[in-house]
Amino acid sequence: MAERDRRHFLKTVGGVTLGMTAVSGLVGLNGFSQTKAESVAFPWPYKKVDPIAAAERAYQAYYQGGCMYGAFEGIVGELREAVGAPYSSFPTAMMKYGAAGVSGWGTLCGALNGAAAAIFLVHEGKTGNPIINELYAWHGAEALPNYKPRTPKFDKIVASVADSQLCHISVTRWCEKSGFKSGSKERAERCAWVTASVVKYTAELLNNQAAGRFTVAHPVPVAVKECLSCHGKDGSVANVHAAAHSSCTNCHTDVLKNHPVPLKK
């Protein structure tokens, strides 16, 4: 394809007219350079999403494709209906990869992974995105699920605090609290409600952002900031990468007793 034709083609992909930054190889918002082959610029247009409608859609989608798909489809499905293109050509089913902490590996919670993908798509693609920060810190701090779908499979699901963004820690803490096994139907329902809860909060955050009234309600916990003051990238030790975890002592359980240098009490 001639360069001029290619540009014309790229500019009209998905039925939307794309800015020249999409094709000219400039450095994108995220600071990563975009290659010429990268065709569709984002963020994509955002229109206010009804948080309850999105949460209900997420709950249904969970049972079709798991937590990450449920969360992504909860938001993007609503936008597909409200906006049409470019959303109508997005292969949302690919998000099924993130189920149970990526293909069953128990790493990043799929609901958080899917929500972050949707946020990246409609807000701005940059590391340290403030909406993702708020969502992830909220997920670590709140007792979840905090949204009950309209037609649930079980009437009551116990809420628990994950103190983490990881599938493994979140699910195991819930199993300990509820007494149900990790392979139970109740655990699946719990994750479906968590997916709906995450989507409801994500929609609220995105709506607030669009209306110019986004605020941070869940900053990085003080105890974590304290650890990062030495171990984070600007600290004296600087051997921990980013890591705005909810809790460092989740895993470093004995560090408060055995830390090599004295820590504030």
Enumerate binding residues for ligand HEC (CB under 6 A). 166, 224, 226-231, 237, 239-240, 243, 245, 248-252, 255, 258-261, 263
Q: Which is nearer to ligand HEC, 181 or 259 (CB)?
A: 259
Amino acid 249 reads: T
Q: Which is nearer to ligand HEC, 135 or 192 (CB)?
A: 135
User: Could you tell me the CA-to-CA distances from 234 to 184, 222, 237, 245 in Å, in that order?
Assistant: 44, 16, 8, 17
CB of 31 to ligand HEC, least distance (A): 23
Q: How far apart are CA 65 and CA 70, in angstroms?
A: 7
Cα–Cα dist 60/54, whole Å: 10
The smaller minimum CB distance to ligand HEC, of residues 24 and 229, is found at: 229
CA pseudo-torsion sign 265, 223, 145, 102: negative
Q: How far is the CB of 100 from ligand HEC (least distance, A)?
A: 16
Give the closest residue to 244 by CA, choosing from 233, 255, 254, 257.
233
Q: Single out the residue of 210, 221, 265 nearest to residue 243, CA to CA.
A: 221
Residues 187 and 194: beta-carbon distance below 8 Å: no
**What are 91's two structure tokens?**
């292969």
Task: Tally the C-alpha atoms within 13 A of residue 248's C-alpha that lie toward its C-beta.
Answer: 22
Count of beta carbons in the 10 Å neighbourhood of residue 85: 14
**Distance between CA atoms of 231 and 263, rounded to whole angstroms?**
13
CB of 40: closest distance to ligand HEC in angstroms?
34
Q: How many CB atoms lie within 10 A of CB 210?
A: 15
